[in-house]
Amino acid sequence: MSIAGKYDITVQSPMGPQPSVLEINEDGTGTQSAQGRSQPIANGKIDGNNVSWSNSITTPFPMTLEFAGTVDGDKISGNVKAGSFGSFPFSGKRA
């Protein structure tokens, strides 16, 4: 099964659950949308069931979020490194 597709994901951050929508293509390109904003992802990579990408945000603080996870069927999970704030788990499912 291809990892490429659209996923509803939620990051469990200290500020509460942060939902977003990830759309990723087989070549690692794609977009991530949250809080009414959508932007291209960077450094996207798919390797077997592993997936990683980064996303620069400006709200609530400017930083680059670095996602790394695995896809198991229609489920996705992993961790996101949020700059100096540490790492937080994320999970989701194919939309």
Q: CATH number, domain at 12? A: 2.40.128.120
Alpha-carbon span 40 to 47, nearest angstrom: 20
Q: What angle (nearest 5°) sits at the alpha carbon of residue 34, between those of residues 33 and 35? A: 135
The total number of structural domains in the chain stands at 1
The pLDDT value recorded for residue 72 is: 96
pLDDT tens digits for range 50-92 = 999 999 988 777 899 999 999 999 999 999 999 888 999 999 9
For the entire predicted model, the pTM comes to 0.93
Which range marks the domain in which residue 80 is found? 5-94
Read off the pLDDT band of 5 (50, 70, 90). very high
